[in-house]
């Protein structure tokens, strides 16, 4: 319909109302956009929480690692005597650490392995598989020459068996361990007014919170049910004689030579006079239960004590002793259940310089 208003003509509005379907679709699209926006904002909040939780977790893991490194720094130099002892007894592993108990220098008798004179002597170390007396590694650098096999003991009465009339300090001897191979245990010794040893080792047990049917192979250290930790043991050196009792009948008592290694008073050992035995209870966990130490290797250097190998030409022997550590940390199953998403492992490699 047109209405004449003089020279102007007004046309009718060309409009139409929204249909019911169009209104429903529009409202639905609007609702989807609003919901998506809220979900996005919610996801950002969840993601922020997850990232914050992982950062806190990483901070705790690094904190635990720093405490471990500090313990190593205060432990002293490489304990070549115990590594020689371990080399002789054997390096078969079980549950993450070495299987056979060495006695920590409290067992065995000193012997000579350089001269080659006599049926009981050799040239590359001898009595393999036998627990070594503390001080045996030092013996490997001494040549007892012609009368070593007939040595009656402390022939010149100076309290030191290395007082024979034709003994010679060669300044050369065997390696206490094979370098470049990840050791499952770290042996340190700190000498002074009180001589102490500090030992570390990897240990494995079954995680009781692991999924049903999960297993741990204690020989290989593999399996999703394995729960690892690092343990510490401290020993104190004493001069109590070969019976380790301090009794008047104990040979070598108070002769100025350390012959007895007993557990530090903070550690409970089952032997007489608090001496260590093969029992596992003397070792103490370092990390809390929620941390899973999934892999550990110690790489100590150098392989020989430079104080004994002074005549050898290998320049690496005069380097300041140090230990490389490669450590993989994860979470115990109880902790993993509280973390949304995959729980990533953390592998840390570090080098610790040791005091002379």
For residues 326 and 297, the answer to whether their CB atoms sit within 8 Å is: yes
Cα–Cα nearest to 261, from 135, 75, 104: 104
pTM given for the model: 0.78
The whole-number pLDDT of residue 139 equals 82
CA distances from 79 to 35, 52, 90, 186, 222 (A): 66, 42, 17, 9, 29
* Mean predicted lDDT score pLDDT of the chain: 80
Between CA 104 and CA 93 the distance in angstroms is: 17
Cα–Cα nearest to 276, from 134, 141, 92, 68: 134
For residues 333 and 207, the answer to whether their CB atoms sit within 8 Å is: yes
The whole-number pLDDT of residue 318 equals 78
Between CA 284 and CA 231 the distance in angstroms is: 5
Which is higher by pLDDT, 134 or 2? 134
Asked if residue 272 belongs to a domain, the reply is yes
The whole-number pLDDT of residue 120 equals 46
Cα-only R_g, the chain: 35
Q: Is the confidence at residue 128, as pLDDT, over 80?
A: no
β pairing state of 196-206 and 185-190 = antiparallel
Q: Average of pLDDT values for 251-274? A: 88
For residues 238 and 254, the answer to whether their CB atoms sit within 8 Å is: no
Most confident listed range (166-175, 243-252, 331-340): 331-340
Q: Average of pLDDT values for 76-94? A: 94
- What confidence tens digit (pLDDT) does each residue in 43-77 have? 555 445 445 445 556 777 788 888 899 999 999 99
Which residues form the domain of 182? 77-353
Which is higher by pLDDT, 87 or 129? 87
- What confidence tens digit (pLDDT) does each residue in 208-227 have? 999 999 999 999 989 999 99
Most confident listed range (16-20, 67-71, 160-164): 67-71
Which is higher by pLDDT, 99 or 255? 99
Asked if residue 238 belongs to a domain, the reply is yes
With cut-offs at 50, 70 and 90, classify the pLDDT of residue 9. Answer: low
Q: Average of pLDDT values for 239-252? A: 81
Asked if residue 148 belongs to a domain, the reply is yes
The whole-number pLDDT of residue 336 equals 84
Q: Spell out the residues 6+ positions from residue 245 whose beta carbon is closer than 8 angstroms to its own.
A: 272, 273
Which is higher by pLDDT, 191 or 248? 191
Between CA 20 and CA 327 the distance in angstroms is: 67
DSSP 112-159: --SS--STT--SS---TTSPPBTTHHHHTTEE-GGGSTT--SSTTSSS
Beta-carbon-side half-sphere exposure of residue 173 (alpha carbons within 13 Å): 31
Between CA 20 and CA 147 the distance in angstroms is: 115
Asked if residue 45 belongs to a domain, the reply is no
- What confidence tens digit (pLDDT) does each residue in 327-354 have? 999 889 998 888 776 777 888 899 999 9
Asked if residue 49 belongs to a domain, the reply is no
Q: Is the confidence at residue 158, as pLDDT, over 90?
A: no
Number of domains in the chain: 1
Run of H or E residues at 346: strand 346-353
Q: Average of pLDDT values for 135-157? A: 64
Asked if residue 317 belongs to a domain, the reply is yes
Asked if residue 308 belongs to a domain, the reply is yes
């Amino acid at each position: 319909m047109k209405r004449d208003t003089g020279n102007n003509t007004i046309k009718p509005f060309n409009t139409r109302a929204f249909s019911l379907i169009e209104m429903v679709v529009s409202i639905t699209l609007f609702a989807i956009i609003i919901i998506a926006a809220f979900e996005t904002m919610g996801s950002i909040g969840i993601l922020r929480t997850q990232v914050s939780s992982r950062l806190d977790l990483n901070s705790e893991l690094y904190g635990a690692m720093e405490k471990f490194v500090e313990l190593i720094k205060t432990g002293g130099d490489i304990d070549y005597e115990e590594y020689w002892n371990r080399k002789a007894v054997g390096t078969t592993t079980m549950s993450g650490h070495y299987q056979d108990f060495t006695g920590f220098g409290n067992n065995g008798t000193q012997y000579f392995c350089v001269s080659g004179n006599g049926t009981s002597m050799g040239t590359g170390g001898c009595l393999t598989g036998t627990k070594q007396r503390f001080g045996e590694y030092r013996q490997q650098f001494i040549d007892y020459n012609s009368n070593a096999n007939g040595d009656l003991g402390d022939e010149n009465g100076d309290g030191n068996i290395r007082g024979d009339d034709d003994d010679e300090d060669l300044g050369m001897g065997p390696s206490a361990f094979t370098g470049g191979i990840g050791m499952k245990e770290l042996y340190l010794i700190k000498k002074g007014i009180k001589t102490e040893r500090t030992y570390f080792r990897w240990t494995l047990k079954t995680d009781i919170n692991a999924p049903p049917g999960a297993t741990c192979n204690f020989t290989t250290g593999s399996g999703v049910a394995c729960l690892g930790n690092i343990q510490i043991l401290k020993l104190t050196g004493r001069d109590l004689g070969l019976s380790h009792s301090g009794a008047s009948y104990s040979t070598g008592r108070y002769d100025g030579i350390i012959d007895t290694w007993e557990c530090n008073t903070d550690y409970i050992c089952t032997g007489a006079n608090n001496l260590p035995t093969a029992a596992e209870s003397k070792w103490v966990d370092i990390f809390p239960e929620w941390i899973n130490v999934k892999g550990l290797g110690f790489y100590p250097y150098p392989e020989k004590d430079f104080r004994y190998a002074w005549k050898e030409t290998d320049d690496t022997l005069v380097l300041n002793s140090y230990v490389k550590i490669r450590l993989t940390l994860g979470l115990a199953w109880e902790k993993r259940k509280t973390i949304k998403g995959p729980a990533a492992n953390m592998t840390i490699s570090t080098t610790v310089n040791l005091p002379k």
